[in-house]
Structure 1
Amino acid sequence: MKAIVLVILFVFGFALGWAQENLQVRTVKFRGNKHIQTYHLKEEVALESSSWVKQKIFGKEPVYYSRSLYNEDVKRLTVFYQKQGYLDVRFNEPQVELTKKNKVVLTIFIDEGEPVTISEISYQVDSLYQLDEVMRLQDQKKLLLQTQANNDKTFRDEDITNDQLLIAEAFYDYGYPYTRVNHHLQVDTILNTTAIMWQVTRGPLAYFGSTNIVGNSRVPSKNILRQIDYHEGEVWSKKKIDQTQKQIYNQGNYRVASVRANIGDEQPDTIPMHIQIREAPRWSVRFGAGYGREDKLRAFTDVQYLGFLTHTGRLNLYAKHSGLEPYNIYLKFSQPSFLFPMNTLTVHPFIQEENEPGYKLQKIGTNITFLQSFSKELNTSIGYVFEDVELDTTAFVANETVDYDETIYKKTGIVLGGIYNNADPILDPVQGYAVSLNIKTNGLLLGKEIPFYRILSEVKTYFGLRRGLVLALKGKMGGIKRTDDADFIPVEEKFFAGGSHSVRGWSRSDLGPRNENGVPIGGNSLLEASAEFRFDVARKLKFNVFMDAGNVWEKSFNYHITDLRYAAGFGLRLKTPIGPAGIDVARPVFDSENKWQLHFNIGHTF
């Protein structure tokens, strides 16, 4: 009797499994995955949920369940787990259920087992030396801090591949371009650990040879040779090659600037260098148009001419129109490598109209700026600014009486700026931080100018909590003060808060002091802070929730934490080649104001 029951159950189960073949997958679940996140596992399988959103909005085809497809997914998951250090992973019989609409709910049961951990890491160079015998202590520490595989950490194939490249590049910078790096594993199956021995074969020490440049016609070779970071006969270094390529690109005249070493199989000790140039067209035109809630219809055009005045000089004619800038027209002459390989001198005359919620003005002026890049992360600037400003009082102060000197005035001064930004990737950061500082002084050269100084600093930081989830934080502080006994400060130099890149529960410039007619007049102190969680909800779609805080105060460098205004909201971002684009919806909280604000954005707000 017992045997008959087992046969019936087997036949019933087989029939049920057969009946579920070629039915649409509704949901895929994972059970038992304690160490690997579910979203990582879903990226490895072909069986995936077929939701209405994926099909109708993103155009994905529905996925149908089959046992063979499941078995292929198990093979992929097994390889994935093994690469993460889980060599004993097991997959138990799945649970296949049918919904009322005859769709499959698949549950995959995983027994992960214990991971293989790293018990020891050692280095052997040329079968004779230890790492500290051939590498400076500072460079050794830098290498060990960058490596991903560490003692007591789970062994992962990705970490080994990453570290293999890091070790090789460290020796490239010591003049060994023929370095080969291999690893030997000693696995303890009882303790479930492995010892890693890195075996480095350096090959012969090499030196830079002569440099050959091809492809340039407009820019003379001597201008390009001034950008190289090495000298013939110097010890070979990959770091110097990478820096040379950056310095050549800084001239801004090339579509392609490839710097490479002519390394052959014979491994000579002197390596010729080859620079391949592809120059950009002398004339180029860019233009674009769009619409934003704050700046309304906007459009711009930018005409560039290369080789102006000098072989590497650039001249740009730029024109822009928007609701906030009815016109902004300027010429900009840029001379890269003005004194050093990674700096640029710019001369920038302009004419502009600003139409902000709190003021309207026209100005004409010139900026002369010296830009210096110290590294990929650190950039600085120092500049001289002259502006002749005419303020439209009808838009600013309505029926008030205004001093003539406060409506037509000149400004001239020095502007200092610096930014350190190691956030990565640049358009959609998941890690790193950015710190910026801008200092402006006014009241130089002309006796009747308005003497003041203005400071604005900002800090942004990004924490990748897990794949697809990022916490972004921002803090911003500013202050402006007259250096004489007068009170007047030009309205366009004051601080305003509220809007798509500020406190998003308010419209542009809506926070802070107002005049008796309710018009925003700006303040002399600014404080803002934001926290935002960013989630990946699809391959090219992000969802974000955030809280902003901030305010503007009338007195200089006078901040009141208890007087901050708060807003909370959510948004969507669509990933595009030029960065995320989307909308934010927010409203004030802890406040008598309760109106929702809608903001359209290109890029993240911070």
Structure 2
Amino acid sequence: MTLGRRDPCIRECESTGPAHVRHPVFVAFLSLFVVAFGIQTASAFEIFGHKFFESEEEEVTPVPDPLPYEATLDLKGGDDDLEETLQNNSTLVAKQDTPPSGEPGLIARALADQEQLIARLYGAARYGGTVKITVAGQPLTQVVNAGTFPHSAGKPVKVVVSIAAGPLFSFGQTSIRVAAGVETPPLDPVTFGLLKGTPARSGTILDAESAIVATLKKRGYPFAKVLDREIVADHATRTVDVTLHAAPGPRTVFGSATVEGAKRTDTDFILQQAAIPEGAPYTPDTLRKAEKNLRDLGIFSSARVVEAKELDGDGHLPLTIEVSERKRSIIGGGASWSSTEGVGLEAYWRHRNLFGRAEQLAVEGSVGRLTNGGADDLEYDAHVTFTKPGAFGPATSFSSTVGARQEKPETYESRSVYGKVRATRDLSESLTAGLGSEISYAREEDALGAANYALFGVFGEITWDTRDNILDPTEGFRVSGTLEPAYDVETGGLMTFVKGSASAYRAVDDAKRFVLAGRVAAGSVIGASLTDIQPSRRFYVGGGGSVRGYAYRNVGPRVNTSSGTETVGGLSFLEASAEARIKVTDTIGVVPFVDVGAAYSNEIPDFSEPLKVGAGVGLRYYTPIGPLRLDVAVPLDPGPDDPSFALYLGLSQAF
């Protein structure tokens, strides 16, 4: 029997095989369909005992005439993995604590369980396996025919699931046939996992079908499908022969696109950002990228490109872009804390579709070191940013920022106003480049004295980011670099700021519960002496985001003062970090880590200052919006003003 088709094409080569193994892949397909579509999307979550978007208790409708039962599952043959799979997928076993409604309910559950378990056997390439279920000592077929079974009121019904795994089947002859008259490169079964001699799992066949369709779509066939499948299980040779019939359909190009769902957003802008060229060859990647471009604007709660069911009169494929707009104005805030830097708060207001073309106006402010002294010791930053996506084409955005800032770490004091403009272009999905300029005026003071600074700079930046998740990456890497020539109007000094960083992530296991993460960063100021550079633009090491365990910005070159020695920052720095991120449960993780770093008085790190090492362990609580992080670190070589240990609390991984 064909999976979901009318024409029969699965047959057995040995009539003495078990009767219920006549349509193995069909049953497996039904099972996969139930598994895939039986998962409900969660609409609520709970953090620290607080539930969001859900009442405290859900109403449960009682089952009429509940019939308690006790189920056991016995497997003969197979291995531990197969037994675990069958145990986990047996509804009778898993739902013993949830009695069904009367005898019909238990019979229905047993019938569904039988199909599900047979499907799991076929999924494990066990096409000769059997599943026998007895209810109250009677075979399931007898119970189904009678519609009832003997049982005593108040006593659980005994249900026994007996499974014989049977032999392991492997693929025999496999082939993929493409409809006649279609000019496309041959499809090799081996490429799609249908390799002779390997276990003939039903899931492998279904995966191959999906991959075949995806391959044909990439070749420009939007209506590609697997029309038929012939699957023959031979019990004598324990092999499964597979022939898949692919129907590519017409090869075509993109036609015109229309927009639905836009209320405040300019439809021409949506088409521009989608960047689907009319007349270009059809590829799914173009549509996927178009959807990503629209989602990245931040103004749509959903955005998808829907393909027409048939070609237009010109033989082109019409498209419909369906969008759902988000609320335009939002407010938000955040908080952080560390034992060395105190409490930090931030708040923002954003309008994310100002003129109907995804322009964003953001007013943001933050206050830091709230618990580290009086009002004079506070740090703050307040700024307004305007961002315009698609300023010079769909891949380019423009932003401008003006703001005021006060910084008061232990090493210097700074009050400044600043402005910045930047144009950013996406060179690919993972590569971004930007150009911009900034100007600032500051009054700053440190151990070397006080001065005014008026800095004008032009910068270029590039970022290569392949991480799978920004807040909790498990695979990929991120590499970034910045180059900024600058001129100080007050001092007449010319200088160039260079900074780069790289981080990489690798999951050791398939479940991604053990992730190794590493980071390196370095920077240099070229062309100026230490005293010509304002303190806030020098390089410091120490604290969260740097070398944990040490005081904030307290590691670097020091000078003697009347009260001892004070850090004055350096012309260069070097940092590195390593973490092992281990998930103990689905919500709890531990992270041992080590950080090293130092700042230097020379333009190039020369290791004239010893590398400072901080080590510690962190706790992670995984939430739907990212991991909540608590780190405790100790400095292995503490200096003046460094604590004996430090605590850090924040959202997302450390890097």
- The aligned counterpart of 1:283 is 329
Q: Does 1:326 align with 2:372?
A: no
Residues 1:34 and 1:460: Cα distance change in structure 2 (over 3 Å): farther
Residues 512 and 553, structure 1, Cα contact 8 Å, conserved in 2: yes
Residues 409 and 449, structure 1, Cα contact 8 Å, conserved in 2: no
1:65-144 to structure 2, matched below 5 A, reads 83=123, 123-126=176-179, 132-133=185-186
- The aligned counterpart of 1:172 is 217
**1:179: Cα distance to partner?**
0.7
Q: Does 1:377 align with 2:434?
A: no
**1:329: Cα distance to partner?**
0.9
Residues 295 and 303, structure 2, Cα contact 8 Å, conserved in 1: yes
- The aligned counterpart of 2:576 is 529
Give the residue type in structure 2 aligned to 1:602.
L
Q: Does 1:602 align with 2:646?
A: no
Counterparts of 2:458 and 2:243 in 1: how far apart (Å)?
Answer: 57
Unaligned runs of 5+ in 2: 1-68, 71-76, 99-108, 132-162, 371-377
- The aligned counterpart of 1:28 is none
- The aligned counterpart of 2:360 is 314
Name which of 565, 569, 581 aligns with 2:612.
Answer: 565
Name which of 578, 586, 605 aligns with 2:633.
Answer: 586
Residues 1:491 and 1:178: Cα distance change in structure 2 (over 3 Å): same
Tell me the TM-score normalized by structure 1. Answer: 0.72
Residues 424 and 431, structure 1, Cα contact 8 Å, conserved in 2: yes
- The aligned counterpart of 2:534 is 490
1:414-453 to structure 2, matched below 5 A, reads 414-443=458-487, 448-453=492-497
Q: Does 1:237 align with 2:286?
A: no
Counterparts of 1:416 and 1:373 in 2: how far apart (Å)?
Answer: 14
1:358-377 to structure 2, matched below 5 A, reads 358-377=411-430
Counterparts of 1:358 and 1:149 in 2: how far apart (Å)?
Answer: 65
**1:304: Cα distance to partner?**
2.1
Residues 273 and 290, structure 2, Cα contact 8 Å, conserved in 1: yes
Give the residue type in structure 2 aligned to 1:473.
A
- The aligned counterpart of 1:520 is 567
Residues 290 and 299, structure 1, Cα contact 8 Å, conserved in 2: yes
Residues 1:381 and 1:188: Cα distance change in structure 2 (over 3 Å): farther
Deviations 1:228-274 (A, max 9, x none): 42344444332222222233344444333332123269999443222
Residues 1:252 and 1:601: Cα distance change in structure 2 (over 3 Å): closer
Residues 1:318 and 1:79: Cα distance change in structure 2 (over 3 Å): same
Give the residue type in structure 1 aligned to 2:651.
I
Deviations 1:468-487 (A, max 9, x none): 53232323131313325776
Counterparts of 1:158 and 1:416 in 2: how far apart (Å)?
Answer: 49
**1:356: Cα distance to partner?**
2.2
Residues 1:345 and 1:83: Cα distance change in structure 2 (over 3 Å): same
Counterparts of 2:555 and 2:480 in 1: how far apart (Å)?
Answer: 23
Residues 427 and 603, structure 1, Cα contact 8 Å, conserved in 2: yes
Residues 1:248 and 1:176: Cα distance change in structure 2 (over 3 Å): same
SS of the equivalent of 2:505 reads strand
Residues 530 and 601, structure 2, Cα contact 8 Å, conserved in 1: no
Counterparts of 1:562 and 1:290 in 2: how far apart (Å)?
Answer: 31
Name which of 263, 285, 289 aligns with 2:309.
Answer: 263
Structure with larger RCO (C-alpha < 8 A, sep 6+): 2
**1:347: Cα distance to partner?**
0.8
Deviations 1:42-85 (A, max 9, x none): 9779999xxxxxxxxxxxxx99xxxxx9xx99998996676355
Tell me the TM-score normalized by structure 2. Answer: 0.68
Residues 1:238 and 1:482: Cα distance change in structure 2 (over 3 Å): closer
SS of the equivalent of 1:539 reads coil
Residues 1:300 and 1:473: Cα distance change in structure 2 (over 3 Å): closer
- The aligned counterpart of 1:104 is none
SS of the equivalent of 2:650 reads strand
Counterparts of 1:38 and 1:581 in 2: how far apart (Å)?
Answer: 37
Aligned-residue sequence identity (percent) comes to 20
Give the residue type in structure 2 aligned to 1:408.
N
Give the residue type in structure 2 aligned to 1:362.
R
Residues 526 and 552, structure 1, Cα contact 8 Å, conserved in 2: yes
**1:425: Cα distance to partner?**
3.6
SS of the equivalent of 2:626 reads coil
Name which of 293, 305, 321 aligns with 1:247.
Answer: 293
Give the residue type in structure 2 aligned to 1:248.
L
Counterparts of 1:228 and 1:176 in 2: how far apart (Å)?
Answer: 21
Paired positions, count: 534
Residues 1:185 and 1:559: Cα distance change in structure 2 (over 3 Å): farther
More displaced 10-residue stretch of structure 1: 125-134 or 82-91: 82-91
Counterparts of 2:121 and 2:482 in 1: how far apart (Å)?
Answer: 49
Unaligned runs of 5+ in 1: 1-21, 24-31, 49-61, 64-68, 92-109, 135-139
Give the residue type in structure 1 aligned to 2:625.
I
Name which of 524, 543, 559 aligns with 1:480.
Answer: 524
Residues 1:557 and 1:232: Cα distance change in structure 2 (over 3 Å): same
Residues 250 and 342, structure 1, Cα contact 8 Å, conserved in 2: no
Q: Please report the RMSD computed on the Cα atoms of aligned residues, expressed in angstroms.
A: 4.8
1:332-347 to structure 2, matched below 5 A, reads 332-347=385-400
**1:309: Cα distance to partner?**
6.2
More displaced 10-residue stretch of structure 1: 443-452 or 233-242: 443-452
Q: Does 1:549 align with 2:596?
A: yes
SS of the equivalent of 1:538 reads coil
Residues 1:83 and 1:323: Cα distance change in structure 2 (over 3 Å): farther
- The aligned counterpart of 1:26 is none
Residues 1:524 and 1:581: Cα distance change in structure 2 (over 3 Å): same
Give the residue type in structure 2 aligned to 1:583.
L
Counterparts of 2:596 and 2:126 in 1: how far apart (Å)?
Answer: 45
Give the residue type in structure 1 aligned to 2:326.
A
- The aligned counterpart of 2:587 is 540
**1:380: Cα distance to partner?**
2.2
Give the residue type in structure 2 aligned to 1:556.
E
- The aligned counterpart of 1:302 is 348
Counterparts of 1:249 and 1:346 in 2: how far apart (Å)?
Answer: 19
Residues 205 and 269, structure 1, Cα contact 8 Å, conserved in 2: no
- The aligned counterpart of 1:502 is 546
- The aligned counterpart of 2:401 is 348
Residues 1:600 and 1:115: Cα distance change in structure 2 (over 3 Å): farther
Q: Does 1:224 align with 2:270?
A: yes
More displaced 10-residue stretch of structure 1: 322-331 or 555-564: 555-564
Residues 1:445 and 1:566: Cα distance change in structure 2 (over 3 Å): closer
